């Protein structure tokens, strides 16, 4: 790969087209925002996307990939390699508190509870940005040497319980093949940065995410006569403390950081009864697949052994969600000059790792991939105290949309030109 050492001739074209299309991208985003859909339920969103790609004259538009995903292929006028761009389309079970005219009023039942549905992670912005990129690149297709694959993915926030879906399933269903994709780019908006700022990092960037459940079986007895049974509350308390020694005592923290958190501790129904069973639930975050396996082993061993020492029995279930989001080092290094050229040197920042996770990691396991953040907090507000993604008060400065359109368009064309 060659570094882009000159201002590419397509920059001016993209900038001009992005100016023209901005109001459309904003309108799409507001429409998606007002009509959010949960993971694997993005039926309306997917139809709008697919109709748009067909209207632009895409060579291929495939719907219902991984349930509700849309994959579009745009062949340029000249032969060349294949680059992919990805957006996610799903919203969250969050009741919106932002006072905008296009506020979501959609309601749903989630895990038996009534709540709102909101684009609280900004995937409405990602979908609209990629629709804008599709329109710009479709307008330039005769000059493009190569193919651009557009991936609109469902269920990034994990599918509903009992269902499969998301990036892993998109890859399994061939979204990176026919023709084979050489590199993939994706972005995420974040309120942690002001609009205009871009955050990137080579190598491990976002954490792996797994959850665990521990069921501790004791023997129920009268709370006044604990010696007549086995108290799972005390044993489970010891397990909580034992789990906290994994990162602090057993992991090489100079290699990568990691987190083990217990978020649920349940047991008992009445003050004077020692119950039969207590339950823990928690999350494990790592930045290294080896450490991830190690921690899984420690969680299991510590829970089982502490329970055994107390005369109880522990059953441990660990569910693997997302792998570590690892930015391909050379592709990242290659991409940074493009970001700087498009957004300005001073706006492109090398940032810390993020303990959140992303299923973009599954694309990166299949092909070299680069994932980065763009800020969406209005510059006059303090990004340090802005409501985070997933908050009912998550607010998007729509000026970030045009920047996203320019960045993804530019990266795609730069990469095709450098790899022709
Ligand atoms: Zn999210
Ligand atoms: Zn997200």
Please state, in angstroms and rounded to a whole number, the distance separating the CA atoms of residues 13 and 358. Answer: 32
Q: How far is the CA of 167 from the centre of ligand 2 (A)?
A: 12
- pLDDT score for 370: 98
**For residues 47-66, average pLDDT:** 98
Q: How far is the CA of 391 from the centre of ligand 1 (A)?
A: 10
Q: How does residue 112 score in pLDDT terms, banded at 50, 70 and 90?
A: confident
Give catalytic residue positions. Answer: 322, 398
- pLDDT score for 414: 97
- pLDDT score for 3: 46
**Residue 239 contacts by C-beta under 8 Å, 6 or more apart in sequence?**
214, 216, 280, 302, 303, 306, 307, 314
More confident residue, 113 or 174: 174
The token pair at 118 is 């909101």
Cα dihedral sign, 172-175-177-180: negative
**Ramachandran area for residue 311 (φ above 0: left; ψ -120 to 50: alpha; else beta):** left
- pLDDT score for 161: 85
Does the pLDDT of residue 2 top 70, yes or no? no
Ligand nearest to the CA of 209: 1
- pLDDT score for 7: 54
Beta carbons of 249 and 165 less than 8 angstroms apart: no
By the CB criterion, residues less than 5 angstroms from ion ligand 1 are 121
Q: How far is the CA of 88 from the centre of ligand 2 (A)?
A: 8
- pLDDT score for 127: 98
Q: How far is the CA of 294 from the centre of ligand 2 (A)?
A: 27
Beta carbons of 175 and 65 less than 8 angstroms apart: yes
- pLDDT score for 388: 96
Q: What percent of the chain has pLDDT over 90?
A: 96
- pLDDT score for 6: 47
Average pLDDT, the chain: 96
């Amino acid at each position: 790969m060659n570094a882009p050492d000159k201002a590419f001739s397509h920059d001016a074209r993209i900038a001009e087209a992005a100016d023209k299309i901005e109001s459309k991208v904003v309108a799409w985003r507001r429409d998606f925002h007002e009509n959010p859909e949960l993971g694997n339920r993005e039926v309306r969103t997917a139809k709008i996307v697919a109709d748009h790609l067909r209207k632009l004259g895409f060579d291929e538009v495939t719907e219902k990939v991984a349930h509700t995903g849309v994959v579009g292929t745009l062949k340029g006028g000249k032969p060349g390699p294949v680059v992919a761009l990805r957006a996610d389309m799903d919203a969250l079970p969050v009741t919106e508190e932002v006072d905008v005219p296009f506020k979501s009023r959609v309601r749903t039942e989630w895990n038996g509870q009534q709540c709102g549905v909101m684009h609280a992670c900004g995937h409405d912005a990602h979908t609209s940005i990629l629709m804008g990129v599709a329109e710009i690149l479709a307008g330039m297709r005769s000059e493009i040497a190569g193919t651009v694959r557009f991936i609109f993915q469902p269920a990034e926030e994990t599918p509903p319980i009992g269902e499969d879906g998301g990036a892993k399933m998109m890859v399994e269903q061939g979204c990176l093949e026919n023709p084979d994709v050489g590199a993939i780019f994706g972005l995420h908006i974040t309120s942690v940065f002001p609009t205009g700022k871009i955050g990137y990092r080579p190598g491990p960037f976002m954490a792996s995410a797994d959850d665990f459940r521990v069921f501790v079986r004791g023997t129920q007895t009268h709370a006044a006569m604990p010696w007549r049974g086995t108290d799972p509350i005390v044993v489970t308390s010891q397990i909580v403390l034992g789990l906290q020694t994994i990162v602090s005592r057993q992991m090489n923290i100079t290699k990568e950081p990691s987190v083990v958190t217990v978020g649920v501790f349940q047991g008992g129904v009445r003050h004077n009864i020692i119950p039969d069973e207590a339950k823990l639930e928690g999350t494990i975050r790592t930045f290294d697949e080896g450490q991830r396996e190690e921690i899984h082993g420690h969680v299991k061993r510590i829970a089982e052994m502490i329970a055994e020492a107390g005369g109880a029995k522990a059953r441990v279930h660990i569910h693997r969600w997302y792998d570590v989001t690892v930015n391909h080092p050379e592709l990242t290094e290659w991409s940074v000059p493009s970001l700087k050229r498009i957004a300005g040197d001073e706006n492109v920042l090398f940032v810390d790792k993020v303990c959140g996770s992303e299923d973009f990691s599954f694309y990166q396991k299949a092909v070299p991939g680069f994932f980065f953040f763009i800020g969406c907090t209005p510059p006059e507000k303090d990004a340090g105290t802005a409501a985070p993604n997933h908050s009912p008060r998550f607010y998007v400065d729509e000026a970030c949309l045009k920047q996203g359109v320019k960045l993804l368009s530019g990266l795609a064309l730069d990469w095709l030109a450098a790899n022709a």
